[in-house]
Amino acid sequence: MSNLISASVQRRVVGSATRKSVLLYMADKAADDGTGIWTSKANIARDLELSRRAVQIAIQELIRDGLVKEAGQRDCKHGFTIEYAIESQAVDNLPSTREQPVDNSSRTREQGSPRESSARVTRERGSPHPVNQIHPNHPYRDTTTQLTDDPPVDNSDPQARCLAVAGPGLCPASRTAIIETAEVIEGWLREGMDIDADILPVIRARTPTIRISPIRTWAYFTDAVRAAHRQRLRQPARPQGAEKAGAPANPQLQFFADWVNSDRYLPANAISNAIALTLLEAGLTSVERLAQRGIPVPARKDRP
């Protein structure tokens, strides 16, 4: 059982209650790296009180969306059962079910947090004292109120720039550990990666929300940075006006773009014509890349 993957699945939008229950069941059987899932579909159906057909469809959709993959086969008394593995990175990229923390930067220190109120409560004799403060390890702890402004970013230091663009996914514990691996960033730059075009966008896109497991090394981003670099070199210039400058990409659309631009297995029917057109219009992929991945390039309605 993997508590890390189970906790991540619980806080992600999977698409339906059936798909989420099946994915949670598989996470309960997985190792921490998502592998080693080899329970039968019949057992999943019985334990979840679903029809076997519903379980089969749910697993097919999870494989189609890149959340689960077939890792092999295992012998069983009825012949063999398929072993599955959960793509933990793809799960982490799904939209979160939790609301983002409210920006309390305008709140003064005297006001404090509603849960930090000094109001006294009347409680029964012998009852435990109430906890009115937010636990220091709570992911939504109010840390936005500061008495002084943040120091300016040293633009001559690549690691300082990477830390500056990182979101809540790079928590204080991650930052303490990750600064010891600055040589990874230096290696990216020696390989020819562009810090503005390749490195910073990847770090920003990969750290928008709080993570279950802290990132402790810059090497976590290496594959994504290299993929972004390769995609930038092969992709023609983005059409002017395709996307508003500075506007964040749709998370679901970005998920499909990352899938198309990566080297992961991609079924031919995973990308519909509508999604392919949207990716092209947003400049998130190219016609050449779609052809390389075996995806038919749809004809636009405005073409003759």
Domain boundaries, the chain: 3-92, 158-234
Q: What is the residue type of 282?
A: A
pLDDT tens per residue across span 57-96: 999 999 999 999 988 887 777 677 888 999 988 888 888 8
Residues 249, 7: Cα–Cα separation, whole Å? 26
Average pLDDT, the chain: 77
Look at residue 85 and give its three-state secondary structure. Answer: strand
Rounded to the nearest 5 degrees, what angle is found at the Cα of 259, between the Cα atoms of 254 and 261?
A: 90
**Distance of alpha carbon 184 from its chain centroid, rounded?**
21
Residue 144 contacts by C-beta under 8 Å, 6 or more apart in sequence? 103, 104, 105
Q: What is the residue type of 225?
A: V
pLDDT tens per residue across span 14-39: 989 999 999 999 988 888 888 888 78
Look at residue 206 and give its three-state secondary structure. Answer: helix
Q: Give the pLDDT of residue 100.
A: 56
Q: Give the pLDDT of residue 89.
A: 87
* Mean pLDDT lowest among 57-66, 99-108, 163-172, 284-293: 99-108
Residues 53, 184: Cα–Cα separation, whole Å? 47
- CATH of region 3-92: 1.10.10.10
Q: Give the pLDDT of residue 109.
A: 43
Structure tokens at 123: 């409680």
Q: What is the pTM of this model?
A: 0.35
Residues 54, 244: Cα–Cα separation, whole Å? 41
Rounded mean pLDDT of 230-236? 73
